[in-house]
Each structure stands twice: as structure tokens, then as C-alpha cells.
Amino acid sequence: MTTPDTTEIEAREKAEVLTEDTRPGLVFKPDVDILEHPDAYVILADLPGANEESVDIHLEKGVLTLDAQVSETTRAERPRYAEYREGGYHREFRISEDIDAAGVSASMRDGVLELRLPKSAESRPRRIEVAAA
């Protein structure tokens, strides 16, 4: 399926995640697409500034947690004008029981995370490593 892409994109503000957090810095809720294939669910998340090392994905008790730390770019230059803010990302997804936790895979390309959640009957806590695309 190819989506039509002749429309002009509208810039939107990154939604800030307001949580009780002792860590400094801003956290944003990334835009995502969630697709269902016959054999797997696919989650695509926009994480500009994040790379495969800074992303952390955790699946436990049917909740998939996506975290990404983006260290603020330290610049010698003087900031003059800002339309976006830098910060980390956080979002949780309630995952149905039929996911094969052992088969979950993740990759990143151009600041977009692609998570593939194969369907199965298993449901156990697991940490998933992110591979470079």
C-alpha cells in the first residue's frame, strides 16, 4: 500500500509527555503508525535525533514501552531561533496476548524506528535490542 504523498505537510508541535520524572530534560510522545499484518504487528515511530543505541524497548505484561534518550546537542554556536525542542521520547503500547516476545525485532533508519511484533501465543517479559538498519 502506498499512501498518496502529494499533499503539503503541516508542521506540528511535538507533544510533550508530562510524567513524574526525576530525570532532567524534555520527553516527547512520538508520532507512530501501527499496522497489522497477517503474521505480525508493525509499529513505526518518528524519533528524530535518536539512534539505535539510544533507544530502549521493553515488553512486559502485555505493555510495550518505548524510550529514547536524546542528549541535547551541545553547540558552540549561539541559539538564535527555535521552532522545535530537543528531548527524549516515551510511549507505551498495550499489546495483545498473541505476540511472540522472543521474535520481536527492531531497526532504525533516518530517525524512524520500526518494530516488528510477530504473532504467537507467548507472553513473557523481555528486553529487545535495537539493531542498526
Partner 1 sequence: MSTFQRHATRRPWPFPSLAREFQREMNHALRGGEPAYHGPRGVYPPVNLHERDDGYVLTAEVPGVRPEDIDVSIEGATVTLSGQRKVEYAAGDGVSVHRRERQSGTFRRAFELPAEIDLDRARATHKNGVLTLALPKSEAVQPRQIEVETR
Q: Site residues (CB under 8 A) for partner 1?
A: 1-13, 31-38, 42, 44, 46-51, 73, 75-85, 108, 110-112
Q: Using CA atoms, how far apart are residues 120 and 34, in angstroms rounded to an integer?
A: 18
Instruction: Give least dist CB 89 to partner 1, A.
Output: 11
Q: Using CA atoms, how far apart are residues 59 and 64, in angstroms rounded to an integer?
A: 4
Nearer to partner 1, 31 or 122 (CB): 31
The three three-digit cell numbers of residue 6, written as one number? 502529494
Instruction: Give least dist CB 24 to partner 1, A.
Output: 17
Separation in Å, CA 72 to CA 15, 19, 88 = 17, 19, 9
DSSP code at position 77: S
Main-chain dihedrals φ then ψ at residue 118, nearest 5 degrees: -65, 145
Nearer to partner 1, 71 or 102 (CB): 71
Instruction: Give least dist CB 103 to partner 1, A.
Output: 17
Instruction: Give least dist CB 54 to partner 1, A.
Output: 9
Nearer to partner 1, 18 or 82 (CB): 82
Nearer to partner 1, 9 or 20 (CB): 9
The amino acid that residue 9 corresponds to is I
